[in-house]
Protein backbone atom coordinates (compact mmCIF):
# COMPACT_ATOMS: atom_id res chain seq x y z
CA UNK A 1 0.00 0.00 0.00
CA UNK A 2 0.89 3.63 -0.42
CA UNK A 3 1.08 4.66 3.23
CA UNK A 4 4.29 6.60 2.60
CA UNK A 5 2.56 8.92 0.12
CA UNK A 6 -0.47 9.21 2.38
CA UNK A 7 1.63 10.11 5.43
CA UNK A 8 3.44 12.83 3.48
CA UNK A 9 0.06 14.33 2.58
CA UNK A 10 -1.19 14.22 6.20
CA UNK A 11 1.92 16.08 7.32
CA UNK A 12 1.63 18.59 4.46
CA UNK A 13 -1.97 19.42 5.35
CA UNK A 14 -1.21 19.66 9.08
CA UNK A 15 1.83 21.89 8.53
CA UNK A 16 -0.13 24.16 6.19
CA UNK A 17 -2.79 24.53 8.87
CA UNK A 18 -0.18 25.32 11.53
CA UNK A 19 1.41 27.92 9.27
CA UNK A 20 -1.94 29.60 8.64
CA UNK A 21 -2.20 30.03 12.42
CA UNK A 22 1.45 31.12 12.80
CA UNK A 23 2.27 28.12 14.93
CA UNK A 24 5.71 26.50 14.63
CA UNK A 25 4.53 23.51 16.68
CA UNK A 26 1.74 20.94 16.33
CA UNK A 27 0.54 19.02 19.39
CA UNK A 28 -1.82 16.59 17.77
CA UNK A 29 -3.22 15.60 14.37
CA UNK A 30 -6.51 13.74 14.09
CA UNK A 31 -7.26 11.81 10.92
CA UNK A 32 -10.31 9.73 10.03
CA UNK A 33 -9.60 6.55 8.07
CA UNK A 34 -12.45 4.46 6.68
CA UNK A 35 -12.06 0.69 6.79
CA UNK A 36 -12.52 0.44 3.02
CA UNK A 37 -9.53 2.64 2.20
CA UNK A 38 -7.32 -0.36 3.02
CA UNK A 39 -4.86 1.98 4.75
CA UNK A 40 -2.89 0.28 7.54
CA UNK A 41 -2.71 2.61 10.53
CA UNK A 42 0.47 1.02 11.91
CA UNK A 43 2.32 1.79 8.67
CA UNK A 44 1.17 5.40 8.73
CA UNK A 45 2.37 5.71 12.34
CA UNK A 46 5.69 4.16 11.36
CA UNK A 47 6.27 6.58 8.49
CA UNK A 48 4.96 9.51 10.49
CA UNK A 49 7.85 9.45 12.97
CA UNK A 50 10.35 9.49 10.12
CA UNK A 51 8.64 11.98 7.80
CA UNK A 52 7.63 14.49 10.51
CA UNK A 53 11.26 15.07 11.48
CA UNK A 54 12.31 18.71 11.09
CA UNK A 55 8.73 19.84 10.40
CA UNK A 56 6.12 21.48 12.66
CA UNK A 57 4.62 18.01 13.06
CA UNK A 58 7.73 16.56 14.73
CA UNK A 59 6.77 15.12 18.10
CA UNK A 60 3.05 15.56 17.47
CA UNK A 61 0.59 12.87 18.49
CA UNK A 62 -0.98 11.23 15.46
CA UNK A 63 -4.49 10.20 16.37
CA UNK A 64 -6.07 7.86 13.82
CA UNK A 65 -9.81 7.38 14.13
CA UNK A 66 -10.91 4.24 12.28
CA UNK A 67 -14.30 4.47 10.62
CA UNK A 68 -16.06 1.10 10.34
CA UNK A 69 -18.12 0.20 7.32
CA UNK A 70 -21.84 0.69 7.42
CA UNK A 71 -24.23 0.09 4.60
CA UNK A 72 -27.74 1.13 3.84
CA UNK A 73 -30.02 -1.36 2.15
CA UNK A 74 -31.51 0.06 -1.05
CA UNK A 75 -34.51 -2.13 -0.64
CA UNK A 76 -35.61 -1.82 3.00
CA UNK A 77 -33.35 1.06 4.16
CA UNK A 78 -32.04 -0.86 7.16
CA UNK A 79 -28.45 -0.12 8.16
CA UNK A 80 -25.89 -2.88 8.75
CA UNK A 81 -22.18 -3.28 9.44
CA UNK A 82 -19.07 -5.28 8.60
CA UNK A 83 -16.55 -4.85 5.78
CA UNK A 84 -17.58 -8.16 4.24
CA UNK A 85 -21.29 -8.02 4.89
CA UNK A 86 -22.82 -7.35 1.49
CA UNK A 87 -26.22 -8.89 1.89
CA UNK A 88 -28.86 -7.14 3.94
CA UNK A 89 -29.62 -9.23 7.05
CA UNK A 90 -33.22 -8.03 7.03
CA UNK A 91 -34.36 -8.78 3.50
CA UNK A 92 -31.40 -10.59 1.90
CA UNK A 93 -31.12 -8.14 -0.98
CA UNK A 94 -27.65 -7.76 -2.53
CA UNK A 95 -26.04 -4.57 -3.82
CA UNK A 96 -26.05 -2.31 -0.76
CA UNK A 97 -24.76 1.21 -0.91
CA UNK A 98 -21.85 2.14 1.26
CA UNK A 99 -22.77 4.78 3.78
CA UNK A 100 -19.53 4.79 5.80
CA UNK A 101 -16.08 3.33 5.37
CA UNK A 102 -14.58 5.38 2.55
CA UNK A 103 -13.71 8.42 4.71
CA UNK A 104 -10.16 9.63 4.47
CA UNK A 105 -9.45 13.09 5.81
CA UNK A 106 -7.55 15.22 8.30
CA UNK A 107 -10.21 16.15 10.81
CA UNK A 108 -8.37 18.53 13.12
CA UNK A 109 -5.01 19.86 14.21
CA UNK A 110 -4.26 20.84 17.83
CA UNK A 111 -1.89 23.76 18.28
CA UNK A 112 -0.41 25.09 21.55
CA UNK A 113 -2.51 27.90 23.10
CA UNK B 1 -6.40 25.18 20.59
CA UNK B 2 -8.06 22.76 18.22
CA UNK B 3 -8.41 23.76 14.56
CA UNK B 4 -11.10 22.01 12.55
CA UNK B 5 -9.54 21.04 9.21
CA UNK B 6 -11.67 18.45 7.32
CA UNK B 7 -9.40 18.16 4.30
CA UNK B 8 -9.29 15.07 2.14
CA UNK B 9 -5.90 13.37 2.37
CA UNK B 10 -5.91 12.72 -1.37
CA UNK B 11 -6.95 16.32 -2.17
CA UNK B 12 -3.73 17.09 -4.06
CA UNK B 13 -4.25 14.21 -6.46
CA UNK B 14 -7.96 15.02 -6.81
CA UNK B 15 -7.04 18.57 -7.80
CA UNK B 16 -4.53 17.35 -10.39
CA UNK B 17 -7.15 14.93 -11.71
CA UNK B 18 -9.47 17.89 -12.28
CA UNK B 19 -6.72 19.60 -14.29
CA UNK B 20 -6.35 16.49 -16.42
CA UNK B 21 -10.11 16.30 -16.89
CA UNK B 22 -10.27 19.93 -18.00
CA UNK B 23 -7.37 19.47 -20.41
CA UNK B 24 -9.07 16.43 -21.96
CA UNK B 25 -12.39 18.25 -22.25
CA UNK B 26 -10.76 21.26 -23.94
CA UNK B 27 -8.93 19.07 -26.43
CA UNK B 28 -11.70 16.53 -27.00
CA UNK B 29 -9.63 13.63 -25.69
CA UNK B 30 -11.13 10.50 -24.14
CA UNK B 31 -8.95 9.08 -21.37
CA UNK B 32 -9.30 5.42 -20.37
CA UNK B 33 -7.67 4.18 -17.14
CA UNK B 34 -6.92 0.43 -17.32
CA UNK B 35 -6.57 -1.37 -13.98
CA UNK B 36 -5.76 -4.98 -13.12
CA UNK B 37 -3.41 -7.39 -11.33
CA UNK B 38 0.06 -8.12 -12.70
CA UNK B 39 -0.37 -10.20 -15.84
CA UNK B 40 -4.16 -9.87 -15.98
CA UNK B 41 -4.05 -8.84 -19.64
CA UNK B 42 -3.99 -5.03 -19.49
CA UNK B 43 -1.49 -4.69 -22.33
CA UNK B 44 -3.29 -7.37 -24.35
CA UNK B 45 -6.56 -5.45 -23.92
CA UNK B 46 -4.98 -2.18 -25.03
CA UNK B 47 -3.29 -3.83 -28.01
CA UNK B 48 -6.57 -5.42 -29.03
CA UNK B 49 -8.42 -2.09 -28.83
CA UNK B 50 -5.66 -0.33 -30.78
CA UNK B 51 -6.45 -2.75 -33.57
CA UNK B 52 -10.23 -2.84 -33.26
CA UNK B 53 -11.24 0.73 -32.43
CA UNK B 54 -11.45 3.40 -35.12
CA UNK B 55 -9.69 6.78 -34.89
CA UNK B 56 -6.44 8.08 -33.49
CA UNK B 57 -5.14 6.35 -30.34
CA UNK B 58 -2.29 6.92 -27.88
CA UNK B 59 -0.99 5.01 -24.85
CA UNK B 60 0.52 5.99 -21.50
CA UNK B 61 2.32 2.99 -19.99
CA UNK B 62 2.76 2.83 -16.22
CA UNK B 63 5.21 0.36 -14.74
CA UNK B 64 7.32 0.20 -11.61
CA UNK B 65 10.30 -0.54 -13.87
CA UNK B 66 11.11 -1.47 -17.50
CA UNK B 67 9.88 -0.30 -20.90
CA UNK B 68 8.72 -3.73 -22.11
CA UNK B 69 5.05 -2.83 -22.56
CA UNK B 70 5.82 0.57 -24.11
CA UNK B 71 8.06 -1.14 -26.66
CA UNK B 72 5.22 -3.54 -27.57
CA UNK B 73 2.95 -0.55 -28.22
CA UNK B 74 5.60 1.42 -30.13
CA UNK B 75 6.13 -1.58 -32.42
CA UNK B 76 2.48 -1.22 -33.44
CA UNK B 77 3.26 2.29 -34.67
CA UNK B 78 1.32 3.96 -31.86
CA UNK B 79 2.64 6.97 -29.91
CA UNK B 80 3.40 5.94 -26.34
CA UNK B 81 4.89 7.50 -23.21
CA UNK B 82 6.40 5.30 -20.51
CA UNK B 83 6.07 6.28 -16.85
CA UNK B 84 8.30 4.39 -14.42
CA UNK B 85 7.19 4.92 -10.82
CA UNK B 86 10.34 3.42 -9.37
CA UNK B 87 8.46 1.44 -6.72
CA UNK B 88 5.21 3.36 -6.26
CA UNK B 89 2.19 1.07 -6.41
CA UNK B 90 -0.08 3.40 -8.42
CA UNK B 91 -0.05 6.22 -10.94
CA UNK B 92 -0.94 9.76 -9.86
CA UNK B 93 -2.74 12.43 -11.88
CA UNK B 94 0.25 14.80 -11.97
CA UNK B 95 2.31 12.40 -14.06
CA UNK B 96 -0.63 11.84 -16.41
CA UNK B 97 -0.87 15.59 -16.97
CA UNK B 98 2.81 15.70 -17.89
CA UNK B 99 2.51 12.64 -20.12
CA UNK B 100 -0.41 14.26 -21.98
CA UNK B 101 1.68 17.39 -22.57
CA UNK B 102 4.35 15.17 -24.02
CA UNK B 103 1.98 13.14 -26.22
CA UNK B 104 -0.06 16.14 -27.44
CA UNK B 105 -2.92 13.90 -28.69
CA UNK B 106 -4.96 15.27 -31.55
CA UNK B 107 -8.59 16.28 -31.03
CA UNK B 108 -10.99 13.35 -30.83
CA UNK B 109 -8.30 10.85 -29.87
CA UNK B 110 -8.50 8.05 -27.32
CA UNK B 111 -5.69 7.81 -24.78
CA UNK B 112 -5.25 4.54 -22.88
CA UNK B 113 -3.45 4.52 -19.55
CA UNK B 114 -2.06 1.16 -18.42
CA UNK B 115 -1.89 1.50 -14.66
CA UNK B 116 0.56 -0.36 -12.39
CA UNK B 117 -0.28 -4.07 -12.08
CA UNK B 118 -2.03 -4.01 -8.71
CA UNK B 119 -5.60 -4.90 -7.79
CA UNK B 120 -5.75 -2.58 -4.78
CA UNK B 121 -3.96 0.77 -4.82
CA UNK B 122 -4.66 2.30 -8.25
CA UNK B 123 -8.38 2.30 -7.50
CA UNK B 124 -7.88 5.05 -4.87
CA UNK B 125 -6.27 7.47 -7.32
CA UNK B 126 -8.39 9.41 -9.77
CA UNK B 127 -6.36 10.16 -12.90
CA UNK B 128 -8.96 12.41 -14.49
CA UNK B 129 -10.14 9.59 -16.75
CA UNK B 130 -13.54 9.46 -18.39
CA UNK B 131 -13.69 5.67 -18.24
CA UNK B 132 -12.16 3.21 -15.78
CA UNK B 133 -11.76 -0.35 -16.95
CA UNK B 134 -10.77 -3.38 -14.90
CA UNK B 135 -9.11 -6.33 -16.62
CA UNK B 136 -9.74 -9.33 -14.40
CA UNK B 137 -8.44 -12.63 -15.77
CA UNK B 138 -10.02 -16.03 -15.33
CA UNK B 139 -6.52 -17.28 -14.42
CA UNK B 140 -6.65 -15.27 -11.18
CA UNK B 141 -9.57 -17.38 -9.98
CA UNK B 142 -13.30 -16.95 -9.56
CA UNK B 143 -13.15 -15.37 -6.10
CA UNK B 144 -11.73 -11.97 -7.03
CA UNK B 145 -14.96 -9.91 -6.81
CA UNK B 146 -15.46 -11.39 -3.35
CA UNK B 147 -11.91 -10.55 -2.21
CA UNK B 148 -11.34 -7.16 -3.84
CA UNK B 149 -14.81 -5.62 -3.80
CA UNK B 150 -13.57 -2.05 -3.35
CA UNK B 151 -11.62 -2.10 -6.60
CA UNK B 152 -14.44 -3.74 -8.56
CA UNK B 153 -16.85 -1.09 -7.28
CA UNK B 154 -14.84 1.84 -8.65
CA UNK B 155 -14.80 0.73 -12.30
CA UNK B 156 -17.17 1.39 -15.21
CA UNK B 157 -16.41 -1.81 -17.09
CA UNK B 158 -15.14 -5.25 -16.04
CA UNK B 159 -13.39 -7.36 -18.64
CA UNK B 160 -12.99 -11.02 -17.77
CA UNK B 161 -9.98 -12.02 -19.88
CA UNK B 162 -8.36 -15.41 -20.51
CA UNK B 163 -11.78 -17.06 -20.77
CA UNK B 164 -10.06 -19.73 -22.90
CA UNK B 165 -8.38 -21.12 -19.75
CA UNK B 166 -11.51 -21.37 -17.61
CA UNK B 167 -11.64 -25.18 -17.83
CA UNK B 168 -7.96 -25.64 -17.02
CA UNK B 169 -8.29 -23.35 -14.00
CA UNK B 170 -11.59 -24.84 -12.83
CA UNK B 171 -13.18 -21.39 -13.02
CA UNK B 172 -16.69 -21.36 -11.57
CA UNK B 173 -18.77 -18.83 -13.55
CA UNK B 174 -21.60 -18.95 -11.04
CA UNK B 175 -19.37 -18.02 -8.12
CA UNK B 176 -17.68 -15.18 -10.03
CA UNK B 177 -21.02 -13.76 -11.15
CA UNK B 178 -22.46 -14.16 -7.66
CA UNK B 179 -19.65 -11.91 -6.40
CA UNK B 180 -20.52 -9.31 -9.03
CA UNK B 181 -24.23 -9.56 -8.34
CA UNK B 182 -23.57 -8.93 -4.65
CA UNK B 183 -21.94 -5.66 -5.66
CA UNK B 184 -24.63 -4.91 -8.22
CA UNK B 185 -22.06 -5.01 -11.03
CA UNK B 186 -23.13 -7.95 -13.17
CA UNK B 187 -24.24 -5.72 -16.04
CA UNK B 188 -20.72 -4.27 -16.30
CA UNK B 189 -19.11 -7.60 -17.21
CA UNK B 190 -17.82 -8.57 -20.64
CA UNK B 191 -16.01 -11.87 -21.30
CA UNK B 192 -13.17 -12.17 -23.77
CA UNK B 193 -10.12 -14.15 -24.81
CA UNK B 194 -7.21 -12.26 -26.29
CA UNK B 195 -5.76 -15.63 -27.27
CA UNK B 196 -8.62 -17.01 -29.37
CA UNK B 197 -10.18 -13.61 -30.15
CA UNK B 198 -13.56 -14.69 -28.79
CA UNK B 199 -15.48 -11.63 -27.61
CA UNK B 200 -12.95 -9.09 -28.91
CA UNK B 201 -15.23 -7.60 -31.57
CA UNK B 202 -18.15 -7.39 -29.10
CA UNK B 203 -15.86 -5.63 -26.64
CA UNK B 204 -14.76 -3.12 -29.29
CA UNK B 205 -18.38 -2.49 -30.32
CA UNK B 206 -19.42 -2.02 -26.71
CA UNK B 207 -16.58 0.44 -26.08
CA UNK B 208 -17.35 2.38 -29.25
CA UNK B 209 -20.94 2.88 -28.13
CA UNK B 210 -19.90 3.71 -24.57
CA UNK B 211 -17.32 6.28 -25.74
CA UNK B 212 -19.88 7.90 -28.02
CA UNK B 213 -22.16 8.37 -25.00
CA UNK B 214 -19.31 9.81 -22.96
CA UNK B 215 -18.51 12.31 -25.71
CA UNK B 216 -22.08 13.50 -25.74
CA UNK B 217 -21.75 13.96 -21.99
CA UNK B 218 -24.33 11.33 -21.13
N1 LIG C 1 -4.57 -17.72 -22.73
C2 LIG C 1 -4.65 -16.40 -22.68
N3 LIG C 1 -3.56 -15.69 -22.39
C4 LIG C 1 -3.66 -14.35 -22.34
C5 LIG C 1 -4.88 -13.66 -22.55
N6 LIG C 1 -4.68 -12.35 -22.40
C7 LIG C 1 -3.38 -12.20 -22.10
N8 LIG C 1 -2.75 -13.40 -22.06
C9 LIG C 1 -1.34 -13.67 -21.77
O10 LIG C 1 -1.11 -13.34 -20.40
C11 LIG C 1 0.19 -12.78 -20.25
C12 LIG C 1 0.09 -11.43 -19.59
O13 LIG C 1 -0.64 -10.54 -20.44
P14 LIG C 1 -0.38 -8.99 -20.49
O15 LIG C 1 -1.34 -8.40 -21.45
O16 LIG C 1 1.05 -8.71 -20.66
O17 LIG C 1 -0.80 -8.62 -18.99
P18 LIG C 1 -0.58 -7.24 -18.20
O19 LIG C 1 -1.74 -7.10 -17.31
O20 LIG C 1 -0.32 -6.15 -19.16
O21 LIG C 1 0.74 -7.57 -17.36
P22 LIG C 1 1.69 -6.57 -16.56
O23 LIG C 1 1.82 -5.32 -17.38
O24 LIG C 1 2.96 -7.30 -16.42
O25 LIG C 1 1.01 -6.34 -15.25
C26 LIG C 1 0.81 -12.72 -21.64
O27 LIG C 1 1.64 -13.84 -21.81
C28 LIG C 1 -0.40 -12.78 -22.57
O29 LIG C 1 -0.11 -13.37 -23.81
C30 LIG C 1 -6.04 -14.45 -22.85
O31 LIG C 1 -7.15 -13.96 -23.04
N32 LIG C 1 -5.86 -15.82 -22.90
MG1 LIG D 1 1.25 -4.82 -19.22
ZN1 LIG E 1 -0.45 1.34 -2.60
ZN1 LIG F 1 -32.82 -4.81 3.21
End-to-end Cα separation, chain A, in angstroms? 36
Complex confidence, ipTM? 0.90
Residue with CA at minimum distance from ligand 1 atom 21: B39
**B9: which chain A residues are within 8 Å (Cβ-Cβ)?**
6, 9-10, 13, 31, 104-106
Protein residue with its CA nearest to atom 9 in ligand 1: B41
- CB contacts, 8 Å: A107 with chain B: 4-6
Ligand 1 centroid to Cα of residue B34, in Å, is 13
**Element spanning A72, H or E:** strand A70-72
Q: Which residues of B touch A38 (CB under 8 A)?
A: 120, 124, 150
Please list the ranges in chain B whose pLDDT falls under 70: 218
Q: What are the chain B neighbours of A87 within 8 Å (beta carbons)?
A: 182
- Tens of pLDDT, residue by residue over B195-209, are 999 999 999 999 999
Quick one: pLDDT at residue A99?
A: 76
Q: Which residues line ligand 1 (CB under 6 A)?
A: B 36, 38-44, 69, 117, 161-162, 164-165, 193-195
Interface contact B181-A94, CB threshold 8 A = yes
- Nearest chain A residue to B9 by CA distance is A105
* Cβ–Cβ below 8 Å for A105 and B2: no
CATH fold of A2-68+100-110, please? hypothetical protein PF0899 fold (3.30.2320)
Q: What is the pLDDT of residue B140?
A: 98
How far apart are the CA of B41 and the centre of ligand 2, in A?
A: 7
Instruction: Please give the pLDDT value at position A73.
Output: 86
Delimit the domains of chain A by residue range: 2-68+100-110
pTM above 0.80, yes or no: yes
pLDDT digits (tens, 9 = 90+) for B2-11: 999 999 999 9
**DSSP code string of B160-204:** EE-GGGHHHHT--HHHHHHHHHHTT-GGGEEE--TTT-TTHHHHH
Is the Cβ pair B121, A108 closer than 8 Å?
A: no
Alpha-carbon distance of A46 to B172, in angstroms, equals 41
Distance in angstroms (rounded) separating the CA atoms of residues B113 and B61? 6
Predicted confidence at residue B218, as pLDDT, reads 66
pLDDT at B54 (0 to 100): 94
- Residue B72: C-alpha distances to residues B43, B99, B102, B197 (Å): 9, 18, 19, 19
What is the pLDDT at residue A94? 66
Look at residue A88 in the predicted model and tell me its pLDDT.
Answer: 87
Best of B9, B16, B123, B188 to mutate (most A CBs within 10 Å, chain A): B9
Mean pLDDT in chain B?
96
Tell me what pLDDT residue A42 has: 95
Fold of B2-217: Rossmann fold (3.40.50)
Q: Is A94 on the interface with B (CB under 8 A)?
A: yes
Q: Does the distance separating the beta carbons of B90 and A10 come in below 8 Å?
A: no
Q: Which of B78, B35, B81 is nearest to B57 (CA)?
A: B78
Looking at residue A95, its pLDDT comes to 59
Closest-CA residue to B159 (of B54, B36, B58): B36
Per-10-residue mean pLDDT, chain A, length 113:
93 98 98 92 96 98 95 86 82 75 96 95
- The CA distance from B152 to the nearest CA of chain A, in Å, is 12
Name the residue of B83, B194, B197, B198 whose CB sits within 8 Å of the most ligand 1 atoms, as the mutation to test its pocket. Answer: B194
All residues of chain A having their beta carbon less than 8 Å from the beta carbon of residue B183 are 86, 94-95
Residue in B3, B120, B183 nearest the CB of A38: B120
> A62 — contact with chain B (CB < 8 Å)?
no
Phi and psi angles of residue B54, each rounded to the nearest 5 degrees, phi first:
-75, 165
Residue B164 CA: which ligand is closest? Answer: 1
Amino acid sequence: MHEYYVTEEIIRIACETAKQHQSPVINRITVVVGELTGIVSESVEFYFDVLARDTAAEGAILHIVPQPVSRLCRHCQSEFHGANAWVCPECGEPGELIKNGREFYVESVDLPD
Amino acid sequence: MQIKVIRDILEKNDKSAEHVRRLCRERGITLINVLGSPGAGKTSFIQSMLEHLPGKKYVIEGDIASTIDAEKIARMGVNVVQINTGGACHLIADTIYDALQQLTPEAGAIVFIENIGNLVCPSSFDLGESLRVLVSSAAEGDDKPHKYPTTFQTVDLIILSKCDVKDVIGFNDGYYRQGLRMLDLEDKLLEVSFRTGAGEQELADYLTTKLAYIKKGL
